[in-house]
Chains A and B, each alone.
Chain A
């Protein structure tokens, strides 16, 4: 029993060295965040953050990542304000995703500020990256 709990725990909270990241870009970023003090990577935590609603300062409505990108990362999303269609986030549905470090950092910065009202921490970005990279597993 204890053993199975330990196995389950290791599956959910996998150490960085066991990172499931299969894309080089994700790998590179996860390593970079590790140098900022991130010890564990937790995609399930990333999923929780993805769906968590925030009410950022000066923002009249609550918002989450899913508000625009939806809860299904393999489906297209829609910008809540401009209604512009956003291509799916999951690399399985849109191979362009998570291939460009600069782009990833740009959108983390913009969208964390817009949604959470602040920049995301290295831990949050690590968790989100692992979730986005492989959302169907979590």
Chain B
């Protein structure tokens, strides 16, 4: 009888200890919202037609709140060789897009997920790929390759919207994830 009580007490305590750990892996957090940014879930949506047109013709128009301004500066300075493609812009479009990217970059953003990207990047670093940032890697480390790079309907981590249905609107909530051929993803 005593031992049953003791075991129950241990299970009860463990439950309390593990509960917050389990929850901390989810998108939902209690309290301390300021630390994660004032605005909940995701990053700011794109509201710039020039950006959508110029950058969204060849690939998904990535929300600027996924990278710091230093990354965008570096990227925009090398458009003649944009990951192997030529993506040159005329002076007018370049200026408009630069202004939009800097004003909405992750370090300027109040969105929770933008803050997470920023916090994961060491100061002085300017990653060119969103998928190279530590926060991105941490969020995707449990996904087997066969679901992404080995999945013909996804192919690459650069195709955010293949699984994140609301990616172009800045929504990356885990409840909106549908991996083609596999369905919902819950971690």
Contacts and interface: CB of A to CB of B under 8 A. Distances in A.
A79 B59 contact: yes
A55 B155 CA distance: 24
Contacts of A114: 85-86
Interface residues of B, number: 17
B68 to A, nearest CB: 23
A111 B80 CA distance: 11
Nearest to A82: B59
B14 interface: no
B59 A59 contact: no
B124 interface: no
Interface of A: 58-59, 79, 81-84, 102, 106, 109-111, 113-114
30 contacts: A58-B81, A58-B84, A59-B84, A79-B58, A79-B59, A81-B83, A81-B84, A82-B58, A82-B59, A82-B60, A82-B158, A82-B159, A83-B155, A83-B159, A84-B57, A84-B58, A84-B59, A102-B90, A106-B89, A106-B90, A109-B86, A109-B88, A110-B85, A110-B86, A110-B88, A111-B86, A113-B86, A113-B88, A114-B85, A114-B86
